[in-house]
Chain A
Amino acid sequence: MSAPSRLSGAEDPCPPLPQEYGPLVAELQSRAAERRQPINGAFELTERCNLACTMCYVRQPSGHAAYHAAELSPAQWLDLARAAIDHGMLFLLLTGGEVFLRPDFFDIYTPLARLGLVLTLFSNGTLITEAIAARLAEAPPSRTEITLYGATAETHEAVTGVPGSYTRAMRGIEALVRHGVPLGLKSTLTRRNVGELEAMRQLAHGLGLSFTAGHLLFGRRDGAPPSLGDCRLSAAQCVKLEATDLVADDERVDVALHRESLGNNGIFYCYAGKATFRVNSCGEMSPCVHLVQPAARPLSMGFTAAWEEVQRFVDDASSLSSPCLTCDVRGYCARCPAWSARETGTLTEPIPYLCTIARARQERYERRA
């Protein structure tokens, strides 16, 4: 039996929820949001990466001294984790940048893994050695996700910009498999690698691993020119991909989520700032990985005050009006405040690229109906 596949609507949209727990997780998420408990956390241990993918939303050079110097210490990450657990955090994503660029990664990870969290780890795999895989296996995360950028070295490295990165990623993946670390592969689809989607899926399944792929690319968070024009798939390509049987389940979930949001006029329809938060590498808290506001500082103001500030940011947005709220293709659209913030500087304005995709989806689904 092959491992499951899914194609998610967005690139690394939010801290992933362990799907295998099914209804229990959904119920916990919902209850946590009602109680405003931050059950989902994401710690961006570094914004630095050893790859140079043009489309990545968070990518600073691995040797960037200023970003390196501003990164929280292991003790600070652990203080944050303990405080978040006191407030109800159960699911924690460790991400970057590339987390294994930090030589002190295990000074953070090992104590964290004793705290009773459901941990997820994102990596590009290129720095994972046999020794790192063995050490992870001593106290593995519930899930590790490694991103493939192609099924061949040529394509993978055309996206990452780093010769040798495909072989190193595959070595890292194989080491994790050998040591039994829970692992799934995923891809961020661009015009360069979309032609290898099926080959990547088969590669993953050949290793007994699940595979997911995101195809809606967020702009960069640091305001640098996004260079996404050359990377983003066309609306027609997106709709064609979403129409494959392998993505049907996820597409239904996506549509259901947006349909549900039609019942309320909230700007934020997900759990961001209600049950979800993210802390960036220098200790600023926001509702999700794609939003930088309000940049609350839990280490100086206290976790309680920072979490309240994040909730206020989300709650205050509920009074905003948005042309998207009355749009007839809202149920087909992936826009959220994070998308708008990145591309328009507001929380509410439409994203022309997503409008085009939503119209194309409407055309496909309503014409068929």
Chain B
Amino acid sequence: MSFDPAAIRRQDDFVLQNVAGEHLLVPIGAQVMDLNGIIILNETGAYLWEVLAQERSLDELAAAVADEFDVEPDAARADVQAFLDEIAQIGLLV
């Protein structure tokens, strides 16, 4: 795991856009140098991205997803973990 499960927050150098029915993360500022592309998020990912505007713990995120999407807490936690691993790997977390 490349993030602290007690304190997770997103990078600010991305803007979430909804275009043609897709949730898209677009890099801005100097970030364009490192990641010159667009990232597609699904519904859960877009929701988490909004929630991650403020620092959250893994437990808080899992609970928020379980509540928002009406899924079992264990399943939500696994999904959140997988999402965070993925976006941490491409530098989307602080």
Contacts and interface: CB of A to CB of B under 8 A. Distances in A.
Nearest to B37: A21
Contacts of A85: 17
Given A28-B19, A137-B33, A182-B36, A90 B26 contact: yes
Contacts of B82: none
Contacts of B26: 90, 116-118
A116 B17 contact: yes
Q: Is the interface of A mostly helix, strand, loop or mixed?
A: loop
A140 B27 CA distance: 10
A140 B33 contact: yes
B32 interface: yes
B38 interface: yes
Interface string A124-138: 000000000000011
A28 B22 contact: yes
Interface string B10-32: 00001111011110101011101
Contact of B20 (A21, A88, A118, A139): A88
Interface string A9-43: 00000000000110010001001100101010000
Nearest to B21: A31
Contacts of B36: 20, 142, 182
A138 B19 contact: no
B20 A39 contact: yes
A28 B37 contact: no
Contacts of B16: 116
A220 B40 CA distance: 40
A113 B28 contact: yes
A90 B29 contact: no
Interface residues of A, number: 26
B32 A90 contact: no
Contacts of A31: 20-22
A182 B37 CA distance: 12
A139 B40 contact: no
B29 A114 contact: yes
A160 B24 CA distance: 40
Contacts of B24: 90
Contacts of B28: 113-116, 139
B19 A182 contact: no
Nearest to B29: A139
Contacts of A88: 19-20
A139 B21 contact: no
Nearest to B26: A116
A105 B16 CA distance: 26
Contacts of B20: 28, 31-32, 35, 37, 39, 88
A138 B37 contact: no
B19 A39 contact: yes
Interface string B31-50: 01100111010000000000
B38 A118 contact: yes
A140 B22 contact: no
Contacts of A21: 37-38
Give 4 nearest A-B pairs by CB, closest first: A116-B15, A31-B20, A32-B20, A116-B26
Given A32-B20, A90-B17, A182-B33, 19 more contacts: A24-B38, A28-B19, A28-B22, A31-B21, A35-B20, A35-B21, A39-B19, A113-B28, A114-B15, A114-B29, A115-B15, A116-B17, A116-B26, A116-B28, A137-B33, A139-B30, A140-B30, A180-B33, A182-B32
14 contacts: A21-B37, A24-B38, A24-B40, A31-B20, A32-B19, A37-B19, A116-B15, A116-B28, A118-B38, A137-B33, A138-B29, A140-B30, A140-B33, A180-B33
Interface of A: 20-21, 24, 28, 31-32, 35, 37, 39, 85, 88, 90, 113-118, 137-142, 180, 182
